[in-house]
Structure 1
Amino acid sequence: MAEETLKSQITSAMKEAMKAKDKNRLGTIRLILADIKKVEVDERIDVDDTRVLAILDKMVKQRRDSVKQYTDAGRDDLAQVEANEIEVIQAFLPKALTDEEISELITSAIAESGAASMQDMGKVMNLLKPKLQGRADVGSVSQKVKAALAQ
């Protein structure tokens, strides 16, 4: 039997959350499936694992922004709800890369693209994005790439 797709893993997790009566986890998983369904309907496609990872990555980023805004506004209760959603979403993402692994990827991408200055940043990021999808915050990695190219 073929390996289970990420989308079917999420659907299975929804069923498990229903059986366990875990309302918070169930709610977040339903949000994930709704975002996936929205993309499928809007673009008239069946999403593959790569696209599901991109959707999950975007959801985590949105929630991190919300946590920051809620914390700044003194709404720690709402920030905690968003943080809990991040945990559930991250359970479906691959293991996060360490700082050392990210540094190695940046070094090899700079060498592979022949980047010598800030004008070459796009080339480096194009090589890095597929490797980072769902495993690291692309925004923070781009800051590290800028620092590496500025030297």
Structure 2
Amino acid sequence: MSLSEQIMADMKEAMKARDKVRLNTVRMIKSALMNEKIKAGHELSSDEELTVLNREKKQREESIEEFTKAARTDLADETKKELAIVEGYMPKQLSEDELEQIVVNTIAEVDAKGKSDFGKVMKALMPKIKGKADGKAASSAVRNHLN
């Protein structure tokens, strides 16, 4: 089942269950995917869909951070629920050990020697972990191994 089909099915299910948070979140995801499809001018590939999901996830994480700073726990809690729904559509995240192993392999693959090769390692690493690991965690792991 494609992501679009899954979203449509989940939207119908949320309507029947009268789950407003889930329905609104799924609608936002559907809207973001549709906007990206129109912008691209073609059906989205799974990588493009993943990029849209990552953008939605990041927006919610930033919102939670801002709401927490402003002491708006009500909005932060609501956004955390939305974030959980968005994460449900994303591929399984890599564990720290799996990420470390991919970083070590990539460093060996590009024959990186030191800090100056950071960009080269990241360029080779990011396509491998796209949607499966956080970019901040990946860059931190690369820095640790290149030091």
Interval containing the TM-score (normalised by the shorter chain): over 0.9
1:72 aligns with 2:69: yes
Distance 2:12 2:122 in 1: 38
State which of 17, 27, 32 in structure 2 corresponds to 1:30. 27
Aligned length: 147
Match of 2:133 in 1: 136
Distance 2:116 2:59 in 1: 28
Q: Is the 8 A contact 1:7 1:49 kept in 2?
A: no
Distance 2:42 2:53 in 1: 17
Q: Is the 8 A contact 1:67 1:83 kept in 2?
A: yes
Distance 1:89 1:148 in 2: 31
Match of 1:105 in 2: 102
Q: Which shows bigger deviation, 8-17 or 33-42?
A: 8-17
Query: When the two structures are superposed, what TM-score results if normalisation uses the length of structure 2?
Result: 0.93
Structure 2 counterparts to residues 55-94 of structure 1, below 5 A? 55-94=52-91
Q: What is the deviation of 1:131?
A: 2.4
Q: What is the deviation of 1:77?
A: 0.9
Report the aligned-residue RMSD: 1.3
Q: What is the deviation of 1:73?
A: 1.1
Q: What is the deviation of 1:107?
A: 0.4
Query: When the two structures are superposed, what TM-score results if normalisation uses the length of structure 1?
Result: 0.91
Q: Is the 8 A contact 1:32 1:56 kept in 2?
A: yes
Distance 1:102 1:14 in 2: 33
Structure 1 runs (4+) deviating above 6 angstroms are: none
| Letter of the 1:48 counterpart | S
1:117 aligns with 2:122: no
Indicate the SS of the match to 2:131. coil
Q: Is the 8 A contact 1:106 1:128 kept in 2?
A: yes
Match of 1:54 in 2: 51
For each residue in 1:88-112, what CA deviation from the matched residue of structure 2 results, as whole angstroms up to 9, or x when unmatched? 0011111111110010011001011
For structure 2, list consecutive stretches of 5 or more residues without a partner in the other structure. Answer: none
